[in-house]
Amino acid sequence: MISIRAVKMLGLIALILVLNACNFKKEDSNARLTKKLSAVDSLFFVGKTAEAIKLAHDVRGSISKTDPLVTTYYNLMAGFVADRKTKELYADSSLAFFKAGERSSSYQNYYVKALFTKGDVAMFAKQYNEAFDYYSKAKTLLKKSSCDNGYMASKTAEIYYIQKNYRVAARYSARAFELLNNCNDYQPQKLFHLKQAALNNAAFSYEQSGLIDSALYFYRLSYILLNSAHTRRSIPATMINSSLVVLYDNMGGLYLSKDSISKAKDYLLKAVNTNVPETNGSKIPPRLKLAKLYLKTGEYDKAAIQFDSTRFLLNKYRGENASSDLKWNRLYAEYLVKTRQSEQAYQYINNYIRLNDSLERVSANIYKLDIDREQDLYKQEQAYQTLKHSDKLKMLYILFATIAVILLSIIIALINKNLGSSRESQKVTASQNKELQQTLVELEAANKNYIRIMRIMAHDLRNPLAGISGLTLVLLEDNELNEENKQILQLIESTCTNSIGMINELLKSGLANENDVLDLQSLDIKALLHDSVKLLHFKAKEKNQELIFDADDAPVRILGSQEKVWRIFNNLIVNAIKFSHAGGKIKVDIALTDNRTFALTTVTDNGIGIDEADKDHIFEMFTKAKRQGTGGEEPFGLGLSITKKIVEQHGGKIWFTSQDGETVFFVKLPLIK
C-alpha cells in the first residue's frame, strides 16, 4: 500500500512538472511574438506600412499587459503613425509600463528603448530640450545595459546637423555606423537601412562642412555596402535601389558643387533613372540639382523640364519636402531671370523668402539647444543624486563598522583555532608543489620531444630540396641551354641553396636562435635584389600584381651573409605581395645614403596598411599583430621578427611608415668601407 507521504511527494513532483511545462510554453510563445514584431519592423522598412500596422494590431491581442513586449508594440506604432498626438499616446503608453514596481530595472533594455522612443516623438514635435533629456537618460542606462547600438550617436548627429554644425554631426554619424554591429537587435533589412543612412549622413555632413575628401570616403563606403548587399541578394532590390537614388543624388550634388559638370550629370541622371517606387518624392532632389546643372550650362529648355517634373512631385507630396520646395522657388526665380522673365521672378523670390522665414521659425528652438551645456547639467544632476545616495551609504558604513568590530573579536578567536588547520594545509601545499615540479620536468621533456620531431620534419624537407638543387646543377652543365633557361635554372638552384641553408640553420638553432656568428662575405645586394624580384615576380603575377625594380647594374656592396640578407629581401617583398590588393603595384628601390656609407633599400606597397594599434608590435616574435593577406594568406608572426634580428646582426636598421593605405619598409645596411 502507498503511504500518505509518498502520495504527497508524487503530487509535489507533478506540480513542479506542470509549472516547468508552463514556463517552457511561455518562453516559446514570447519567442514567436518577438519574431512577429520583428517582421512588423521589416515590413515597415520595405515600405509596406499598411501591412505592418495590420500585423502589429494582430500581435497586440496576444501580448499580456504585464509582458514587456507590449512596449515594443507601442514603440513600433509610435514610429509608424504620422499624427503627433497619436505618436505621443503610444510613447507615453510605453513609458507608463515601467511605473509599476521595479520594471525599469528588471527590464532595463526595454526601458532604454522606451526612453529613446519618447525622445524621438519629442524631436518630431520640435521639442528639442525635452528630446535631449530623454536621450541623455537612455544613454546613462546604456552604460549599465547590454550594449550601445549607436542610436544615441545618430540622434546627436541629427541635432548637430539641424544646428548646421556639420563637422561634429559627421563625426557622430560615423560613430553611429561603427556601433551598429554591437547588438543583435536589428533585422538584416533594418540594419542595412541604418548603416546606409549613417554612411550617407556622415558623407553629406562632411560635404556640407567642406571636407570633400572625407565625404568621398564615406560615399565610397556606402557604395561598397550597397554593392555587397546586391551581390549577396540579402536585401530586396527596391531597398537597394532606393538607397542608390540617395547616393547618386548626393554624389551628383558634390561634383556639381566642384563644377565637375560631366560627373555631376552622370550621377544625377543615374539617380533620376534608377527604378524605384515613387512614394515620398525621392526623385525631387536629383531633379532639382539637374535643373541647377542645366542653368549652369545654359540648357534652359532641359532645365524647364526638370522644374516642371519637380513641381509636379512637390505638389503630389505636399508638406513632406519643405526644404526642396524652398530650393525650387529660389532656383526657378534664377531660371526666370536668366530667360529674361524678371517680372515673374519676383513672385518666386517672395515665395522663397516666405518659406525660408517659416523654416527658420520652426528650427529656432534647436539653435538654442547647447548640447555640451545640457550634458554638463545632466551630469551635475546625476552627481547630486549620487551624493545623496553617498550620504545614505555613510550611515550604513558606520553601522557596518560597529558590527565589524564585534565580528572582529569573534574572528580573532577563530583564527587561533584555525592555525592548527593552517599548518596541515601547508603540508598539503608542499606535497602539491612537489607534484607540480615533477609535472614541469615532464613538460620540459615533452617540449624537447616536440623540438626533436620538428627537426626530423625539417631534415626530411632538406633531402628533396638537395635533390632538386643537384638536378639543377646537372642541367646547368648542358651547353645547349639558351640564356633564359640558364637564368631560370640558376634562380631555382639559388633558391634551393638558400632554403637548405634556412633549414640547416633551423636544425642547428633549436628553432629560434638567430645569434650564431655570421659567415660574412662581400655581397652585391643590388644583384641579390634583382634575383629576389625575378624569383617573386611569378608569385606577384598570381594576384595580378606588378612588381617593379628599376635599377642599373652598378654594384652596391656590403659585408654580409648571402642567405640571411636574401631572407631580409624575400620576407619584405613576400609581405608586400601578401598584403597588397589584386592588381596593385609593389615598388622596390635601392639608394646610397648618409654620405654614401649606407645602402637604403625600400619596399613600397598600396595595400591594406598597418593598424595604429599594431605598429608597436609587428617586430615582436610570435606577435599578435597578425592579419590575413588580401588573398586569404595565413600569417605566422615570425618573418618581421627574424628580419629585424638579421638586419641588426649586420649593423643595420629597419623601420616602416604606414598611412593612407601606403606602407613603406626601409632597410639601411652599412657599405664596405
Kindly report the backbone phi and psi dihedral angles of residue 181, in degrees, each rounded to the nearest multiple of 5, phi listed first.
-85, 0
End-to-end C-alpha distance for the chain, whole angstroms:
109
Rounded CA separation 514/504 (Å): 12
Vertex 529: Cα angle to 528 and 531 (nearest 5):
65
For 100-135, how does the pLDDT look when each residue is reduced to its tens digit (9 = 90+)? 767 877 888 888 888 888 888 887 877 777 877 887
pLDDT at 22 over 50: no
What integer pLDDT is reported at residue 459 of this predicted model?
65
| Radius of gyration of the CA atoms of the chain, in A | 36
Q: Determine the average pLDDT of the residues in 275-279.
A: 77
Beta carbons of 568 and 523 less than 8 angstroms apart: no
Q: Determine the average pLDDT of the residues in 230-259.
A: 85
pTM of the entire predicted model: 0.47
pLDDT at 5 over 70: no
What integer pLDDT is reported at residue 583 of this predicted model?
93
What integer pLDDT is reported at residue 363 of this predicted model?
54
pLDDT at 522 over 90: yes
Kindly report the backbone phi and psi dihedral angles of residue 634, in degrees, each rounded to the nearest multiple of 5, phi listed first.
-85, 130
Query: At 45, is the pLDDT very low, low, confident or very high (cuts 50, 70, 90)?
Result: low
Query: At 382, is the pLDDT very low, low, confident or very high (cuts 50, 70, 90)?
Result: low
Q: How many CB atoms lie within 10 A of CB 410?
A: 9
Vertex 309: Cα angle to 198 and 260 (nearest 5):
55
For 538-574, how does the pLDDT look when each residue is reduced to its tens digit (9 = 90+)? 989 999 999 999 888 899 999 999 989 999 999 999 9
- Listed as own residue / partner, the contacts of 299-303 with beta carbons closer than 8 Å and 24 or more positions apart are 300/335, 300/338, 300/339, 303/335
Query: At 404, is the pLDDT very low, low, confident or very high (cuts 50, 70, 90)?
Result: confident
Mean pLDDT check: name the lowest of 43-52, 445-454, 500-509: 500-509
Q: Determine the average pLDDT of the residues in 637-648.
A: 85
Burial of 338 (0-12, 13-18, 19+ CB in 10 A): middle
pLDDT higher for 516 or 538?
Answer: 538
Sign of the Cα torsion 22, 28, 32, 37 reads: positive
CATH of domain 520-670: 3.30.565.10
Half-sphere exposure in the Cβ direction for 423 (13 Å, CA): 4
pLDDT at 619 over 60: yes
What integer pLDDT is reported at residue 451 of this predicted model?
65
What integer pLDDT is reported at residue 3 of this predicted model?
44
Query: At 231, is the pLDDT very low, low, confident or very high (cuts 50, 70, 90)?
Result: confident
pLDDT at 312 over 70: yes
Rounded CA separation 436/58 (Å): 66
Query: Which residues have CB under 8 Å from 270's CB, separation 6+?
Result: 244, 248, 252
Nine-digit cell at 590?
A: 635601392
pLDDT at 23 over 50: no
pLDDT higher for 23 or 392?
Answer: 392
pLDDT at 352 over 50: yes
Query: Domain locations in the chain?
Result: 520-670
Q: Determine the average pLDDT of the residues in 414-437.
A: 81
